[in-house]
Chain A
Amino acid sequence: MEVGNKTMDDWRMGEFGTAPDQDVAKAPRNRKQEILSAREDYRSQFYKHYRKEAEDYDREFMEKHDEDLNTTLIFVSFRRCSGVRMLTRSQAGLFSAVTSAFIIDVQSQLRPDPNDETVALLRVLIYKVDNTTFGNDPPALPQWTGPPHMVVQVQAILYASLAASLLSALLAMLGKQWLNRYVSTDLRGTAVERSQNRQRKLDGIITWYFDYVMEALPLMLQAALLLLGCALSRYLWEVNPTVASVILTVTAFGIFFYIFIIAAGAASENCPYQTPGSQALRYLRRRVQRVFFLAASVVVSTFRRSEVFKTVVNNFEQYHPWWSGDNIKPFLKVTALEIPRAFATDAYRLGRATVRLFSTLRHLGPAMATLSVSLARKAHNRLRGVPSTPGQGLDQRTTTLDFRCISWILQTSLDKAVHLLTLKHLVTTPTLASVNPTLVADCFDVFIGCIKGVDNHKVVIAQGLEELATVSALCFFNLVSHLLVVDPTSSILEGARQRCLEVLPAYAYFNGHEPYYTMNTACCLLVPKWRLLYFQWSDYKPSTNEHSMVAKSLVKFARFEYQGAPQAKVPRLILRFALHSLSLYPPPPTSIIADCLSIVAIDLGCDVPDTGAMTSDERWVCI
């Protein structure tokens, strides 16, 4: 039987243009070496661009945080005062000075005043000399009973303010140290290793919420200011209410203004007065809204299903117009008679539901315990920066970092050429075992970026971006099929599903483009509705490379589906693919036929040897 003689790796090497065309007659070993060298070529080129992007990004990152930390330090103390910023720093440094001055001033009131004792002794001496000086009120020596309550309160608040400002200064200094460590260049290792190390540090910054810590510094300073205002108001109120009222007014104005800017920032994302409080409030608002609407819908639907509601509505309809003289009496009578029975039915149903709920909760304990352990393990792995999948090793760690680098550059770079190079590197990665799930969204975004528009339900790819669209579609498909196997309940998949439905218009199809198979298959795997409505295999003859890639992934998926539930069938979509592939003339390459037969065998329940774990190179050698 005549078969095609191109494989996925032919395409990987030939069509990307950076590797020379392959001679199909060459020995498999040579081919494999060439494939490996081409892969290394993509990898090195990718990291070359990565370094460049990373340098730009790190420079901006450092500038932003360094400036913030400097401002914080200056606001707290006179440290590092120099140059043209002297005036600002002098003004800002007043905060620490003022706090300290007040503390010193109030500090004396925490101890007994020696002058008071001297005055009392003098009064006693005078009384001894002339006991008529003070009338019938003989002077007594004062007894120290501790500082006034108000002074203790004021001093405590002032110290809290000072502690907050000093703590923020400490954090700011530490922050500068952390940043210096982040940008420090490794002296050892290849460019790839150094890039991956940098990515590891950047991931750590995200995982350990570095941004939130940095955001907390201004918050601490704002809290310190608030405390100072409160302490001043309280202290001066005892000294002179008139003077205190001025401070109170200013403090209250400050508080109200701050609340206002938080509310404004939370109400509108376009508002320039954004603070961390605004963001938190916005997040909470969304959550509360969701819970409220959910609860409201549950209550309304429960009420509508209640027997009482149905009885009343039925009677309304039966005795329409119920308000008329003839109908009102029977309507009220029948309703009054039926309501108790309906109420009893509802009470019975409610009781039954409650009993069921409690019996369910009884079984919930062990499930929750298992879930907690699983979540704790995941969190632990995440904080350690390692994948949660078993079988970790040095290679897997490197691959994980590789995927993170790819994901990062897809998210940060706007250069299509860099995207293309990155995706070529991704598509030639031999295994997706420790892939970063966020890459699904990244690849989809890149593909969507290649779409010019939709003409009569047909997706049109922008001119010059065909190759990028093809590669991004392939990556997207590979990742989706992989994730569907390893983690079908992943929130990333759900997000991708939503994105598909939101971004791609209804009835959109990809006919006439190279990624037709891949995007259609990916959409169909993701969105069950797509399977029935939009997919026609017969319209398109895929290129060997695209075909091979899809076949390989679908075999893996079919095996997973069947292994997941032995009585289950392989999805019909996959069988349709196999049918279409086997019906093509000339027949596809042997590897694709083998994949299609594997799909059939899996559906029939045969014990098919697992070839899905083979790498592309091994696969090629087998062919």
Chain B
Amino acid sequence: MNQISRLIIQKVKTLAEAEVPDELRSKRKAITTLLPYAIWLEQDGQPEILDTFLHAVRASKTLYFTWSRANQFAGTLFSEASPRAIVLASPYILRKAPGRDDMVQRWAAAASVVPYTEEVAQSVVEALLQIAFNHELLPHLTNIWSWLTKRPSLPPVSMGRSLGIHPNTINVVRELGDTEILKSYLLLVWSEWNRIWYKGSFDEMCASTREDFGGIGMGHHRADLIQRLDHILVQLDRGLEYLKQHNPDLNEDSVRRMGDQYGELRNILLGMNIEAIARTSYPMVILPCILTETDVHRISHNVYVCAASPMSITPRV
């Protein structure tokens, strides 16, 4: 049996490292079949197969790698698996698992005891974003949301990020009333790798930036958000070919729409910056940002604009 396990591990690693996602995807059912066994072994202190599975999933660059048949066994797997295994496996089986209430609680409990690593944080956030939009338990599991503030780097192809932009999720996050979590959430879901599919989401995000990040006290949050958006826009400017290397599902239309959406969000934030500056009579320094000519005209007459970096704004003489 060990011999067969070694053969499998070696084969899956070879497939993952060969960077041929199509071949990996064609074997996704077989690789998913390993997941329960990998979870059992991880519990016994043998994480090799689980790690190999996770490696294969990331290398496949697909949203739907896991075979849906595995979801029906999630209850059995979660009942006996170790916290680390639960946390690492949950992004791939928790989303469509039947009767998720108890599993979500088990998952949240596991996340609370598992030691922090980048990989764990990534898995927790992935799973959280996947299930957040239609699960009523999550608003009550306040601790779990704090994982967002760790801001793990999600892979270019991320089911969590794709589902995390659902309007319901934004509402849930906003209702938490924690600006830091909300900002972290936006920083995670805004990405050059996926566009904001839902019209309602985009509207909700616009509303959130206006309502939750308004005012002079929110300047540093806005600066973080603007910085993120700038980074996204720069990445989008590198062209479709570059983006497709990391996320094959992207197309020209998506990239164009992303540019529009994130540009508009950035404009909103900039506008709010300017409004905030206009309301104050004190010289202030805002974090680096780029102001367009239009932005400059919108600044009220008693404000000086100096195009230095960091940009300083001083009252006009």
Contacts and interface: CB of A to CB of B under 8 A. Distances in A.
A427 interface: no
Given A597-B37, A600-B34, A579 B7 contact: no
Contacts of B80: 585
Interface stretch (B71-79, B104-112, B179-187, B268-276): B71-79
Interface residues of B, number: 31
B2 to A, nearest CB: 10
Interface in B18-49: 26-27, 29-34, 36-37, 40-41, 44
Contacts of A578: 33
B69 A576 contact: yes
Contacts of B4: 594, 597-598, 601, 606, 608
B76 A579 contact: no
13 contacts: A1-B40, A572-B29, A575-B33, A579-B67, A582-B36, A583-B36, A583-B70, A583-B73, A590-B1, A597-B1, A604-B30, A607-B7, A608-B4
A579 B70 contact: yes
Contact of B8 (A569, A572, A604): A604
A587 to B, nearest CB: 6
A538 B40 contact: no
Contacts of B26: 569
A1 B44 contact: yes
B37 A604 contact: no
Interface of A: 1, 538, 569-570, 572, 575-576, 578-580, 582-585, 587, 590, 593-594, 596-601, 603-609
Contact of A601 (B8, B41, B69, B77): B8
A575 B27 contact: no
B3 interface: yes
A529 to B, nearest CB: 19
B31 to A, nearest CB: 8
A340 to B, nearest CB: 51
A596 B33 CA distance: 9
Contacts, number: 81
Given A576-B69, A597-B5, A597-B37, A585 B12 contact: no
Contacts of A603: 27, 29-30
Interface string B56-70: 000000000001011
A579 B33 contact: yes
B11 interface: yes
B11 A538 contact: no
B29 A604 contact: no
Contacts of A601: 4, 7-8, 11
Nearest to B34: A600
Nearest to B81: A585
B1 A579 contact: no
B40 A587 contact: yes
A605 B8 CA distance: 9
Contact of A579 (B8, B11, B27, B69): B69
Given A585-B79, A603-B27, A604-B30, A594 B72 contact: no
Nearest to B12: A604
Contacts of A584: 76
A366 to B, nearest CB: 35
Nearest to A584: B76
